[in-house]
Amino acid sequence: MAFTDEHKAKFDNLRVSLEIQNREQLKRTANGGNSILFAYEPSEEILYLNKAREILDGNQYHFIDIAKLLVQYIDMDGWEDFKAYYNDFLNTPHLVFSSDDEATDLMDLIINEIKSACDNNQIPVLIRTGVLYGTGIENLNIMEHPAVMTHKQPLIVFYPAKMQGDNLLFLNFKPASKYRCTVID
């Protein structure tokens, strides 16, 4: 698929949102949040991720691949132990992937990567966020985390979703929050 004017316009809107003089407007639009949801059709994810890697400077941006973090999380205890743990909490996946205990979980891995970007004065960019479906981790959980809210740089979330009227639909079917963010769709 060719990189159309519509796709180019979305990246141009992202660049404008990231300009220093527009940061205060971002926080006002995002109800005090510090995040940008860059929404696109799930079927076009590869196109957008390839273009993002091409045009977003690797020194200024830190790409955080959630799919790789999920695999890392599973590998921490091994597949069999993870499977048993997951099956024990099948009806409450947030306890598996985002608990309040001191054991490292997927949410901890995500936040640690965001903090790493902060420490390196880079803009964190979450990609492959579709893998969060079924984990109990919602975009709002990440956007309202203190590491995101207080970072001087905004968080960019590449988000497979579409706008349907005023509603944002994650993976084109699950209602999602756009409360603490600016949406580029």
Examine the pLDDT at 5 and tell me if it is beyond 90. Answer: no
- Using only the alpha carbons of the chain, give its radius of gyration: 16
pLDDT digits 0-9 by tens, 49-59: 999 999 897 78
DSSP 123-170: EEEEE-GGGGTTTT--HHHHHTSHHHHT-SSPEEEEEEEEEETTEEEE
How big is the CA angle at 18 (ends 34 and 39), to the nearest 5 degrees? 70
pLDDT digits 0-9 by tens, 72-114: 999 999 999 999 999 999 999 999 999 988 999 999 999 999 9
Determine what percent of the chain is predicted with pLDDT higher than 90. 63
- Rounded to an integer, the average pLDDT of 15-28 is 79
pLDDT at 8: 85
Examine the pLDDT at 2 and tell me if it is beyond 60. Answer: no
pLDDT at 11: 92
pLDDT at 44: 93
pLDDT at 81: 95
pLDDT at 58: 73
Q: Are 37 and 159 in contact (CB under 8 A)?
A: yes
- Rounded to an integer, the average pLDDT of 112-120 is 94
pLDDT at 7: 82
Q: Please tell me the pTM assigned to this model.
A: 0.92
Q: Considering only CA atoms, which of 67, 65, 134 is closest in space to residue 97?
A: 134
pLDDT at 3: 61
